[in-house]
Chains A and B, each alone.
Chain A
Amino acid sequence: MSTISNYLYNIGKYGIFMKRVFSKPEKWGMYKRQFFIEVDSLAIGSLGIVAFISIFMGAVITLQSAFGFESPWIPLYAVGVASRDTIILELSPTIISLILAGKVGSSIASEMGTMRVTEQLDALEIMGVNSAAYMTLPKILACTIMFPFLITISMFLAILGGWIFGVLSGAVSSYEYIYGITHNFKVFNVYYSLIKSFIFAFLISSVSSFYGYYTKGGAVEVAQSSTKAVVYISVLILVFNYILTQLLLV
């Protein structure tokens, strides 16, 4: 009972926090500057790890598909089809979002938590700034706008990585892979995956801000809220992944 009411309490608190975040900004210019700072640190800063993970993820999924389809009944271009669909539907939006939850979520939560425990947020409040909105809204906007771009890059690189490593290892020929990835392609899958990554980006930025914003105490609590943020974001991403798939694809 207490756990359920605790969850409901947190959801309600999150809702009120969101209302504060999306209240009318005092000064747009301040937010704009903050937005580009966040884009630089959250999105462009994640470009390297996203690219690296995507290329190897694509390579591994291609090799695994080629290994799994070792049957004379299955044409080898099915490797391309399977890799493309797995990457576009699930690996790029969901796995990369989970990675970003770890990287971006923990950084936002610990940043906000530290600002809270060092009373910087209180200082902003005293200056008459809506601290929740000022600190969180640029992050949410940066994430929700930029993460779909990251996911697009990720999809591109993963399919490219699958092609490079698939052909280099000899698991699949270049023609078959390319025929596979262009075979019966549905554009909606890409839109679906971008919608997913938009929602995941919102979850990552808002939930981690929420946990960071309401940190109480010192360094240990900052670590705790950062951990909590990452755990809850991961759970929420998986739950929303199911819900969105069910809503959009089925």
Chain B
Amino acid sequence: MNFSKELKTGVLIVCTIALGIYGLNYLKGYDLFSTSDEYYAIYPDANGLLESNPILINGMHVGKIQRINFVDDNSGRVIVKFILTNTEFKIPNDSRALMASLDLLGAKGIRIMPGTSATYLQDGDTLATGTEDGMVDRLSKELIPTKQKAEHLISSIDSTLQQLNKVLNGGGSASLQQILINLSKTTSDVNDLLASEKTRLNHIFANAESITLNLRNNQDNLTAIMKNAALMTDSLAKSNLKSTIANADKSLAELTKTLNQINSGKGTLGKLIKDDTLYNNLNTSAKDLDKLFIDIKEHPSRYVNFSIFGGKKESK
């Protein structure tokens, strides 16, 4: 069968126009070849709801929004016309059509909360409406106080930084630099010291280690010592220390009295210390004795008379 070129062209044009109209309507959310029920819902605010957004019943996708218009009464409310392609579930007439956020990107949809009534909605009916807080709505509700707090925080950080800037600009910077230079010098000195005294430090640590080791080894002994000390202090505490001290105190008072008497030159001891008569007498006696001894040395014969060969002179 041979088609004329005109016929082929005509067929192409008509088919394409039909295809284009069907495709455009499909993309806009109308499916020309499927039967569906239409329902309406009236909201005070469309709130990002778009044509072809989904209609869900218990999470099941049953239809889409076909058109959103203002209500005729110029109240600013919007009437949403939506079609249900899946009509297996009959919607009770006390169901509510809740506007809901479906995902994180903020895609909206209508969630139909089925009621319990035994009578069902008919094609073309209008549903009761409501809104459901989506994740984003909830987040933004919680976010606003947090944001205010963050603003406070940021402003206080800002003022702090301004103060810091003031300090740094008013010569604080130079001081800080000086401090850092000093610190660097100090640390390098410490480094030098550590390097030069490394062996000694090592010794010190070794000694300390051995000391602690000894301490640990002698732990039992130390415990015994401590016990003894405790015992001693115990017995000290128990002993009649107070009266002893009181007696000692009394004795010392007596002693002081005696010493005072001695100092004032009373009694024998006092005379001995304060009166130099005895000393003078003794001194004179010693001088005399000295003279006597000198005399004896020079003239022994005056006092000692002896003869190896017998006593002739005595007889004289």
Q: Do A and B interact with each other, yes or no?
A: yes
Q: Which interface residue of A44, A146, A149, A187 has the most chain B CB atoms within 10 A?
A: A149
Contact of A40 among B8, B16, B19, B51 (CB under 8 A): B8
Q: Beyond A150-B16, A182-B27, A183-B53, list 20 extra A-B contacts (CB 8 Å).
A: A39-B5, A39-B9, A43-B9, A43-B12, A44-B8, A44-B9, A44-B12, A75-B105, A84-B27, A149-B16, A155-B23, A156-B23, A179-B54, A182-B26, A182-B29, A182-B64, A183-B50, A185-B51, A187-B27, A187-B28
Q: Which interface residue of B9, B13, B104, B107 has the most chain A CB atoms within 10 A?
A: B9
A47 adjacent to chain B (CB < 8 Å): yes
Q: Which B residue's beta carbon lies closest to that of A72?
A: B104
A47 to B16, CA, bound (A): 11
B-contact bits for A89-111, CB 8 A (1 contact / 0 none): 00000000000000000000000
8 Å CB interface, B75-130 against A: 103-105, 107
A175 to B20, CA, bound (A): 22
Contact of A181 among B16, B19, B20, B27 (CB under 8 A): B27
Decide: B27 and A36 in contact? CB cutoff 8 A.
Answer: no
Q: Which A residue's beta carbon lies closest to that of B13?
A: A149
Decide: A175 and B27 in contact? CB cutoff 8 A.
Answer: no
B150 adjacent to chain A (CB < 8 Å): no
On chain B, the residues within 8 Å of A190 by CB distance are 20, 24
Decide: A185 and B12 in contact? CB cutoff 8 A.
Answer: no
Given A39-B9, A40-B9, A159-B23, residue A182 in contact with residue B103 (CB < 8 A): no
On chain B, the residues within 8 Å of A185 by CB distance are 27-29, 51-52
8 Å CB interface, B287-315 against A: none
A175 to B17, CA, bound (A): 26
On chain B, the residues within 8 Å of A44 by CB distance are 8-9, 12
A37 adjacent to chain B (CB < 8 Å): yes
Decide: A152 and B52 in contact? CB cutoff 8 A.
Answer: no
A246 adjacent to chain B (CB < 8 Å): no
A185 to B52, CA, bound (A): 8
Cβ of B108 to closest chain A Cβ, rounded Å:
11
A149 to B26, CA, bound (A): 18
Given A75-B107, A159-B23, A185-B29, residue A40 in contact with residue B5 (CB < 8 A): yes
Cβ of A150 to closest chain B Cβ, rounded Å:
8
Query: What are 29 A-B contacts with C-beta separation under 8 Å?
Result: A37-B5, A39-B9, A40-B5, A43-B9, A44-B8, A44-B12, A75-B103, A75-B105, A146-B9, A146-B12, A149-B16, A150-B16, A152-B19, A152-B23, A153-B16, A153-B19, A155-B23, A156-B20, A175-B61, A179-B52, A179-B61, A181-B27, A182-B27, A182-B29, A183-B52, A184-B50, A184-B52, A185-B52, A187-B27
Decide: B28 and A152 in contact? CB cutoff 8 A.
Answer: no
Decide: B26 and A36 in contact? CB cutoff 8 A.
Answer: no
A242 adjacent to chain B (CB < 8 Å): no
On chain A, the residues within 8 Å of B29 by CB distance are 182, 185
Number of interface residues of A (CB under 8 A): 27
A19 to B178, CA, bound (A): 85
- List the 6 closest A-B pairs by CB distance, nearest first: A149-B16, A36-B5, A182-B52, A40-B5, A185-B27, A152-B20
Q: Which B residue's beta carbon lies closest to that of A44?
A: B8
A28 adjacent to chain B (CB < 8 Å): no
On chain B, the residues within 8 Å of A37 by CB distance are 5
A80 to B8, CA, bound (A): 33
Given A156-B19, A187-B24, residue A36 in contact with residue B52 (CB < 8 A): no
Cβ of B164 to closest chain A Cβ, rounded Å:
40
B142 adjacent to chain A (CB < 8 Å): no
Secondary structure at the A interface, as helix, strand, loop or mixed, is helix
A-contact bits for B33-52, CB 8 A (1 contact / 0 none): 00000000000000000111
On chain A, the residues within 8 Å of B104 by CB distance are 73
A84 to B12, CA, bound (A): 23
On chain B, the residues within 8 Å of A156 by CB distance are 19-20, 23
Q: Which interface residue of B16, B50, B103 has the most chain A CB atoms within 10 A?
A: B16
B-contact bits for A40-57, CB 8 A (1 contact / 0 none): 100110010000000000
On chain A, the residues within 8 Å of B4 by CB distance are 36
Cβ of B305 to closest chain A Cβ, rounded Å:
147
Contact of A36 among B9, B51, B105 (CB under 8 A): B9
B276 adjacent to chain A (CB < 8 Å): no
Cβ of A4 to closest chain B Cβ, rounded Å:
42
On chain A, the residues within 8 Å of B12 by CB distance are 43-44, 47, 146, 149
A182 to B27, CA, bound (A): 4
A175 to B50, CA, bound (A): 18
B6 adjacent to chain A (CB < 8 Å): yes
Cβ of B82 to closest chain A Cβ, rounded Å:
13
On chain A, the residues within 8 Å of B61 by CB distance are 175, 179
On chain B, the residues within 8 Å of A184 by CB distance are 50, 52
On chain B, the residues within 8 Å of A183 by CB distance are 50, 52-53, 107
On chain B, the residues within 8 Å of A75 by CB distance are 103, 105, 107
8 Å CB interface, B161-206 against A: none
A84 to B27, CA, bound (A): 9
A187 to B23, CA, bound (A): 11
Decide: A36 and B6 in contact? CB cutoff 8 A.
Answer: yes
A182 to B16, CA, bound (A): 20
